[in-house]
Structure 1
Amino acid sequence: MRTAAIILPVCLCVVSAREAAAQKKDTVRTLKEVNVSARRPMITRKADRYIINVENSMLSTGYSGLDVLQKSPGIWVSPDGSIRITGNLSVTVMINDIVQRMSGPELAEYLKSLRSEDISKIEVIANPPSEYEATSSGGIVHIILKKARQQGVSGSVYAQYKQQGKKPYAGAGFSVDYKLKKWYAFGGYSYVRDNSAYIGKTSTDYPDKSHIYNFNDRINNNTRRQYRGGVVYDFSSDHTLSLQHNGNASRLLQGFYSTLTYDRPGGQVTGDANTDWHRTPKFSSTTLSYAWSIDSLGSSLKVIGDYSHAGRHETNTLLSIYSDPAMDRGFRTTTPSATDMYSAQVDYTHAMQKKSAVRTGFKYVQINRHNTILAEDDANGDWIKNPARSDDFRYSEQLLMFYGSFEKRILRTSIKAGLRGEQTYSKGISIISGEAIRRNYFGWFPSLFVDHSLQEEKGNSIHLNYARRVGRPAYNDLNPYRLQVNDFAILTGNPNLQPQYTHSIQAGYTWRHEYSADLYFKSTTNYIAQTARTVEERIIEHMSKNFPRNTEFGLSLSAPVAILKNWRADNGLLLYYSTAELDEVRISRTSISLKTAHTYTWEKVADIDLYVEYSSPSTRANSRLSAIFYTDIGITRRMWNNKGRLRLSFTDIFNTFRERELTEYEGTRIDFYQKRPTRTASLSFVWNFKAGKEFAKKKIDANNSDEKRRMGN
């Protein structure tokens, strides 16, 4: 909420001699200060995106970054942490112009450590224009963090405690900004300790009628750290140089304690298996950028250089004992990986009269990745290397990209057209097997956006857009290795993977800025999906492959409702039909997701919020996901002139959140179930501080690249 204070001193002076004689002196009266408040709309829209103004909304306090996305209009977060704008295609996530190049689970863990108090707004870009890389078939979600607005020091500190069943969660952190004349510095740090316990069950039926039932307890002991910092120097009002560094590091320790029942043709076998899974992923990015504001119309030049590094050390140790001693085994797999990415980019915008602009730019990216697999077998307490299951994979990739776009407003119609070209050179080699990969390909990626205002003063408009996108295989998916996950599961790479291409069309209507209805259609060829099939005896192989086509069309609705003056509800609906052609199998399903978020302001007492979401059964590749339903509630108390906020919240209060996935392929049926401690109670406190005069907000540009997302895969 922005508040403009208008002080109107009105001097009431004597205007006649008669009044002067009666009053004998001048009378001066000053009206009291009048506060005029204006609430920024939660949703604002542009031709190629819409913007969720998190700051001062119901989402501004007491949530993690993943919670904010989950509760934002038009964004859907799956149980596994994948983020969608439409049906099945995951989005690319950016934070302050930096693409988060991590795997889906690692990105979800990172977003849990980001605080809602640090988020200013979120841009949702369903069909990214030509300025963005041609990846992200599912669109882009761009999180923009707050910047200080005052000369001097400002910032916040927070602490949170959460009870997750019998296990605790605790976190704390701070962010600070400092402005002194032409210098601006910022930084932040957060630390989270997350302990939890899951239960899971897997029932597998094989073509020969044999059956395996596996029940496991999973104990999680995780710590996560994230940090960011930077400095900006204004040479003048038009020239700015900035340097920023962002990073995160985690220690993820999981223990799986399983009991198995194996019904085979020769009789039943029972067993126990213990797995220790240790991971230490790290990611950092350093960006140097120069910005020149050329004229008052908005012409600009930006030069950006970026270096990113992702490293991960992972160890998976399994020891299993069966009633049939011939099945007893122990193995350990160590998989360290390191990825370095260098990029340089130039963007130029030439603004013209009559609301027209030309944009152009180019970018170069170099990626080097080294991934090692050390497989060892247990030999009476000693670990002996297994050369057949070990590997050493080297991969390099170069991207040359350029784009041009033109935008113009004609009366009440905005038009933006762009064309992007991307050349990819890639090669990889398995040092152990000698198997080599070489890919060279070029693609054109056009885009078009049309927005016509029906009643500009009321915020009513219609829009139509189109974009072609590409999805490159993740680095690990190209690695021709075979990773033994447990006694009955193998994860393997596929060096024959090709990129997938998506045509995306969207048309919609916006009413009063916030109400919207969109129809969309996406068609993907060379569709990349991970499927499961039986190989060897009772071994399930998980491998990504290219399939002919995946299509999806749907309807998205967003409708805020002011129930009372101090009671608002934001409602969303996503209805879609998806079809995947997987070899000889065609999988289709219609799915619907519904959510409603209510906020009620109890004056001088507290803010109360309620969130409810339901998603019907859906599909992912050759798997069927069950329905999900949950309800969250929270109470926030403002303190010390709004400088402090105390929040008490409860998630999944009816304990209805379950995860179930059914996979059927080539005669094998895998029924997976998992229950996390989703019913939690949390208490958090935030204190905001500031001192100094107002100054202009700074926006620090960073290198936008899909490769950072792929680095973690």
Structure 2
Amino acid sequence: MIVKLTNTLKNSIILFFLSMGLLSNAQFKVSGYIIDSTGSRVSFAAINLSADSSKIIRISVSDSLGSFAFAGLPKGNYTLTANLIGAQLFSGRFHLANDTMLVVKVKFTSSILQDVIVTASKPLLERKIDRTVFNIGNSLAARGTDLATAIGLAPMLKVSENGISIIGKSSVAVMINERIVHLGGSDLINYLKSLRSDDVAKIEIITTPPAKYEAQGNSGLINIVLKRDLSQGIGGSISTSYAQRMYPGFGNNASLNFQSAKISASIKLRHYNRKGFIQEQNDIVGLNYAIFSHDPRLTLATGIGANTSFEYKITNTGAIGFVYDEGSTNYELNLENTTTYQRNNATDSILQTLSHSKNPTETRTITLYYDQKLGSSGKKLTTDLNYFSNAPITNIDFTTLSDHSSNIQAVRTFSGIRYQIWSAQSDLILPYKWATVETGTKFTNFDNNSDVRYSDLVAQQYVIDHSKSNHFDYNEKNIAGYVSMQKVINKKWTGKAGLRYEYSIIEGYSPTTSSRNRSEYGKLFPTAYLTYKPGSTHTVSLSYSKRINRPNFRAINPFRYYTNPYTYSTGNPLLQPSLTHNIELTWLYKSYLSVTFYTQHLDNGFGYITQVIGTYKVVDAKNFLTQNSTGLTATSSIRFFKWWESSSHVTYSMSASSSTVADFITEKGSLFNLGTNHTFRISNKLTVFINYSKTLPGTQGNTYRAAQFDFSSGARMLALNNKLQFTASAALGAVDRSRSYFKGYTQYVYTDYNYRTANFSLTYIFGRSKVKGNTKKVDFKETQRTN
């Protein structure tokens, strides 16, 4: 196996350097960059190249570094002109006899800098070969909002205080400028609230990620593309929010950004404090027995964090930087559980458990990166080094009283876990006339050390029960390499194909039981895309991808996590990853209506199964599921009038499953979901919005879910030259009801999250509002498996 791994590494290294060897310079090339009188680069200038005949033969646009290039030119005399927002900045003649580098210096006049309004309009929705693009700048509803609110307006996306999801996907990762944001849940939402929608050019929704991205998870990606702006100076924002449910909740965010010709820096602070009340009923009903469990619980979630980043442009083509994020969160829960055991419809016993748990967590992420442009034709090399650590601690004290005994059973459990993840990656983009090639490699090392202790209260002292305590060490190494190629076949057809190889070495060890498990596997993950665009009205896209879903670290820890003396959950060190095959066919009509047909095949799916073993209720992780799913999603984004914008979606899916676990009863099922969002601009200072979504009753796997709905409405007001924003809204939602079918029993779950909420937020923007600072992120999706 070592030889196999060595060969894999060797092949990856050879592939990487062979790709580097593809670089070449075309003959008779003109390249250069545009600068103004201060030395700053000028972006988005229209560059025209004319021959002696004065006929324009080439057209280009300067990029974010002011660079431009024309290749494959014959020897001769040429005229180069540069224009910006309708005004000519430069015009000059030159003779081309070999490769030539030009530095074009321009001087802005007041007529260019003032009294000019750019009204270029893009369609609200666009379809690229591997993603759907939502041009947020053309959205009436998104103007002047925070980024978390704006993302919720994009088609197929749903935002809550617990995170972001894509309709039809099990999870989602968020990127900014093609770099993963390694935050989740409330921390992610609070981070996005510190960013402004006015700084965003578009939101890209990637339901079938290409080979460049991790194959882990049946997840989608959201890529937030920021506007490129030449504004320099200091700017930022301060915001606070208040949410009233049964108990109040608070959130605060602040950001400070600095940008100059060579330095880009930012610091973002986040804080939240939310108290909640949840009622849950979890019942198991068998032929001659039943277990009824009632769990009202009071929760308190607090968090504080800081994110700082810095980038320095070493040269006109190279930049180096770092990102540092540190967060501290704590989740406290007070639970009062009543469990009733019945035999033959008669009460056998009643247990009452009072539980208090604390879950403080410290997270730290460090990223170093280097970006280098290779020439002026768009070739680029990026290198990233990442470190992530997460150290959650869970302390649970619970006391249990039985109606059959006056004795009180007091238990204290401790769970200390430390995750450490290291990764290094390098990506290379090679645009050629015949195709655009992307290739890269990545190495990731996971370390997970967990310590679980179970103690009984004996004679006023807690004594460890070693039979219920455990230490578990886990290590995983992943080595990956990929190559992809995109080619414009002709004016109507574009194709893209990629192949990613990932090799994993996994080892788990329990010193407590002296048990060791080791496994190795390597898999190929192909992706393919084809787009047909016969005109400006229709776009049709077909895509395929293969994905892998590896278990999170807790799911493979074999030890028991107790919630009372007779209820526990346990992991499975032999748990294997699942594989999914995805096919999507998408039709985009007139840039406002998108219809997607998708089908998915799941192999070796895993999850948690509840079993009754004697007097114990056991939740165990197993591989057991094979599932075929087919669905149709239609989304629309329409502006009926200048003052009325609507975004709606309808999703219908069917699934058929089979199980290798006899207790798990599978059924054919279907799900139907619809939603609509409407925004009305009453004036330039006042906007009103109404949002509604509903999921009809449906079955998936062995679980039937009752109907659910979400409704919210509110208003957004601007003041002080649009620098002060106030938002007020109210939300309603239905409780979650489900029932799961097993051989010999049925499990019923009722959960009320107390959805009725009144929300208020206030945001103030100061300084140069278009200064964004450094928002560089890295592809560090592995951190999601620590949750």
- TM-score under structure 2 normalisation? 0.80
Q: Distance in 1 between matches of 2:284 and 2:218?
A: 33
- Quote how far apart the aligned CAs of 1:40 are: 5.0
8 Å CA contact 1:594, 1:614 repeated in 2:
yes
2:554 to 471, 476, 486: 476
| Cα pair 2:245 2:756 within 8 Å, conserved | yes
Which of 349, 353, 371 is matched with 2:433 structurally? 353
Match of 2:285 in 1: 205
CA distance in 1 between partners of 2:542 and 2:223 (Å) = 21
What is the distance in 2 between the residues matched to 1:327 and 1:446?
61
Give the Å deviation of 1:497: 0.9
- Residues 156 and 78 (structure 1), Cα distance of their counterparts in 2 relative to 1, 3 Å cut: closer
Preserved CA contact (<8 Å) 1:64 1:114: no
Name the CA distance, whole Å, in 1 between partners of 2:388 and 2:124. 34
1:365 aligned to 2:444? yes
Paired with 1:680 and 1:609, the residues of 2 have a C-alpha distance of: 16
1:163 equivalent to 2:239? Answer no
Which amino acid letter does the alignment assign opposite residue 556 of structure 2?
Answer: L
| Structure 1 residue 445 corresponds to structure 2 residue 525 | yes
Amino acid at match of 2:510: S
- Report the CA distance shift for 1:231/1:36 in structure 2 as closer, same or farther (over 3 A): closer
Cα distance change on mapping 1:475 and 1:451 into 2, 3 Å: same
Deviations, residues 555-575 of structure 1 (Å, cap 9, x unaligned): 111112323321011001111
Q: Give how far 1:383 is off.
A: 1.3
Residue 22 of structure 2 is matched in structure 1 by: none
Matched ranges for 1:19-38 at <5 A: 33=115, 35=117, 37-38=119-120
The answer (yes or no) to whether the contact 2:323–2:777 under 8 Å persists in 1 is no
Q: Secondary structure at the match of 1:110?
A: helix
Change (3 A) 1:498 1:670: same
SS in 1 for 2:375: coil
Where do 1:673-688 residues align within 5 Å? 673-688=750-765
Aligned letter for 1:164?
R
Distance of aligned partners of 1:228 and 1:77 in 2 relative to their CA distance in 1, 3 Å threshold: closer
SS at match of 1:470: strand
What letter is aligned with 2:457?
D
Residue 258 of structure 2 corresponds to residue 181 of structure 1: no
Which residue of 75, 88, 91 corresponds with 2:157? 75
Aligned-partner Cα distance in 1 for 2:500–2:593: 32
1:498 alignment partner, one of 561, 573, 576: 576
Q: Aligned residue for 1:397?
A: 476
Of the candidates 632, 637, 642, which is equivalent to residue 565 of structure 1? 642
The answer as to whether partners of 1:99 and 1:709 remain within 8 angstroms in 2 is: no
> Distance in 2 between the 1:179 and 1:464 partners?
41
Letter matched to residue 681 of structure 1: A
Alignment match, 2:325 = 246
Quickly say closer, same or farther: Cα 1:518–1:225, change in 2 above 3 A: same
Match of 2:605 among 516, 524, 527: 527
1:316-341 residue CA offsets vs partner (Å, 9 max, x unmatched): 22112221117842222111111111
Q: Secondary structure at the match of 2:218?
A: coil
Match of 1:18 in 2: none
How far apart are the structure 2 equivalents of 1:340 and 1:358? 33
The answer for the alignment partner of 1:43 in structure 2 is 125
Cα displacement (A) at 1:357: 1.0
| SS of aligned partner of 1:495 | coil
Equivalence for 2:213: 132
Matched, 1:609 2:684: no
Q: What amino acid is aligned across from residue 577 of structure 2 in structure 1?
A: P
CA distance in 2, matches of 1:184, 1:487: 55
Is the Cα–Cα contact under 8 Å of residues 343 and 364 in structure 1 kept in the other structure?
yes
- Whichever residue aligns with residue 441 of structure 2, its letter is F
Equivalent in 259, 277, 282 of residue 338 of structure 2: 259
* 1:623 maps to 2:699: no
Deviation of 1:246 (Å): 2.2
Q: Label 1:349 to 1:540 Cα distance change in 2 as closer, same or farther (>3 A).
A: same
Give the SS at the match of 2:267.
strand
Aligned to 1:711: 786
1:186-585 correspondence to structure 2 within 5 Å = 186-207=266-287, 209-264=288-343, 267-325=347-405, 328-353=408-433, 356-412=435-491, 413-455=493-535, 458=536, 460-537=538-615, 539-583=616-660, 584=662, 585=665
2:124–2:138 CA contact under 8 A, matched in 1:
no
5+ residue gaps in structure 1?
9-31
Matches of 2:446 and 2:497, distance apart in 1? 30
CA shift for structure 1 position 101: 6.3
Offset of 1:283 from its aligned partner? 2.2
Q: Which moved more, 1:108-117 or 1:338-347?
A: 108-117
Cα gap change, 1:397 to 1:7, in 2 (>3 Å): closer
Kindly indicate whether the alpha-carbon contact (under 8 Å) linking 2:606 and 2:625 is maintained by their aligned counterparts in 1: no
Separation in structure 1 between the aligned mates of residue 319 and residue 343 of structure 2, nearest angstrom: 70
Following superposition, the deviation at residue 281 of structure 1 comes to: 2.2
Q: Distance in 1 between the 2:265 and 2:528 partners?
A: 38
User: Which structure 2 segments of 5+ residues have no match?
Assistant: 1-43, 45-83, 88-113
My pick for the range that moved more, 618-627 or 665-674, is 618-627
Tell me how far 1:149 sits from its aligned partner: 5.2
After TM superposition, give the deviation of residue 38 of structure 1 in Å: 4.7
Distance 1:100 1:578 in 2: 32
Cα 1:522/1:280, change in 2 over 3 Å: same
Q: Could you say if the C-alpha distance between residues 96 and 228 of structure 1 is closer, same or farther in structure 2, counting changes exceeding 3 Å? A: farther
Counterpart-to-counterpart distance in 2, 1:514 and 1:403 = 34
Say whether the 8 Å CA contact 1:62–1:115 is kept in structure 2. no
Find the aligned partners of 1:546 and 1:206 in 2 and give their Cα distance: 24
Aligned residues of 2:259 and 2:773 also touching (Cα < 8 A): no
TM-score normalised by length of structure 1? 0.88
Correspondence list, 1:115-154, <5 A: 115-116=192-193, 118=195, 120=200, 121-143=202-224, 150-154=231-235
Name the residue aligned to 2:744: 667
**Percent pairwise identity:** 22
Aligned amino acid, residue 349 of structure 1: I
Compared with structure 1, are the counterparts of its residues 246 and 54 closer, same or farther at alpha carbon in structure 2 (3 Å cutoff)?
Answer: farther
Distance in 2 between residues matched to 1:99 and 1:218, nearest whole Å: 34
Q: Report Cα offsets for 1:81-108 as digits up to 9, x if no partner.
A: 6734326x33344456554667xxxx33
CA distance in 1, matches of 2:654, 2:161: 20
The Cα of 1:521 is off from its aligned counterpart by 0.8
Aligned residue in 1 for 2:668? 588
1:69: how far off?
A: 5.1
